[in-house]
Amino acid sequence: MVRSNQASEMGCTKRLRAGEEIIHIDCASHMYPDGTLGMHRMCFQVLKNEIVAICGPNGAGKSTLVEHLNGTLTPYEGRIVVGGKELTDTESGELWREVGVVFQNPDDQLFAPTVLDDVMFGPLNLGMTREEARNAALDALRSLGVSELERKLPAHLSWGQKRLVSIAGIMAMKPRIIVLDEPTSGLDPVNSRRIEDLIVRMRAEHGMSVVVATHDLELAARISDRIYLIREGSVLAEGSPVEILYDTELLGKASLCAPPLVRMFLDYCRRTGVEPKRRPLRGEEFIDMLVDREKAGDIDRDLYFGKIPNYVTGDRISET
């Protein structure tokens, strides 16, 4: 893990595997017109076929960083390099073909008269025929579970539906890199899980690199290869999910709390006096560890568990 200010006079001090970088933000800063420093000497890299999470509290600069990835914003110092090409004020025109950004606010993205028109817009601009664009749009709507919305007016959708449709609009273009700003906020648990599965599939099946800006650390724990923890427009730390999410002191500095599973596991270790050798990030991993401990005779089963109840075995509960 790299902690704190990676920036130096020479640029980012930490370089990942140079030839595999698909995005490199090199000590870039952005100032909004009112003088707010939205990003300060930010160093950020994404490798090919990687899922990277940008985590930080409200106002940390996640969306500012995201909007530099497709040229919506440009830095006043530092460099933005995508696919080996450095972006300049005049050289970001074709970037939308490579980097699909789903904005935090879906209202910034949806504008066409119907949902289908909206989702077809990107594919048509890529040069697909109307039929190809329609098929790409219908596929994307289907994979997000919102086919029935195809004829609706975007303005009439619920907030969660707008988010799903805006993700479909970017998915339909199949960019090399997809960037999602708070993709699960405002979504119910089933749709959140759908987005999570989709992100994992986009990498596995289409070889995409995925960047997710989120304060949902449980999501970051489950899907990301690396996490950038950001605060006040700069990188506070970068590392694997285990390194970042088990460092409760570091998370406190970023005004974030460790995910519930991590807190529960650390509490379990403290109270049972065991030294963790592995550190689970998913519920299944934690359960596997408990089952292994029980099998090894480290847990007195009779102390904690009685007869397996009917709702677990599926037996019919007898009526009295």
How many CA atoms within 13 Å lie on the side-chain side of 71?
17
Residue numbers 56-75 binding ligand ATP by CB under 6 A: 56, 58-64
* Count of CB atoms situated within 10 Å of the CB of 176: 16
User: In Å, how far are 48, 56, 127 from 178, measured between CA atoms?
Assistant: 12, 19, 19
Q: Is 76 in the site for ligand ATP (CB under 6 A)?
A: no
Total residues in contact with Mg ion, by rule CB under 5 A: 3
Beta bridge partners of 79: 26
Q: Which of residues 199-238 bind ligand ATP (CB under 6 A)?
A: 215
Q: Which residue has the tokens 């500012």?
A: 64
Considering only the stretches 83-91, 96-104, 221-229, 289-297, report the one whose residues sit in contact with Mg ion under the rule CB under 5 A. 96-104
Judged by CB under 6 A, how many residues of this single chain contact ligand ATP?
14
Between CA 234 and CA 12 the distance in angstroms is 12
Residues 148/121, Cβ–Cβ less than 8 Å: no
* Residue number, 24 or 215, with CB nearest to ligand ATP: 215
How far apart are CB 34 and ligand ATP at their closest, in Å?
5
Range 8-67, binding Mg ion (CB under 5 A): 62-63
Alpha-carbon dihedral sign for residues 265, 210, 158, 215: positive
Nearer to ligand ATP, 56 or 75 (CB): 56
Does 34 participate in binding ligand ATP (rule CB under 6 A)?
yes
- Residues within window 56-75 making contact with Mg ion, judged by CB under 5 A: 62-63
CA dist., res. 263 & res. 56, Å (int): 18
Is residue 184 a contact residue for Mg ion (CB under 5 A)?
Answer: no
Give the residues lining the site for Mg ion (CB under 5 A): 62-63, 104
Give the residues lining the site for ligand ATP (CB under 6 A): 32, 34, 36, 38, 56, 58-64, 104, 215
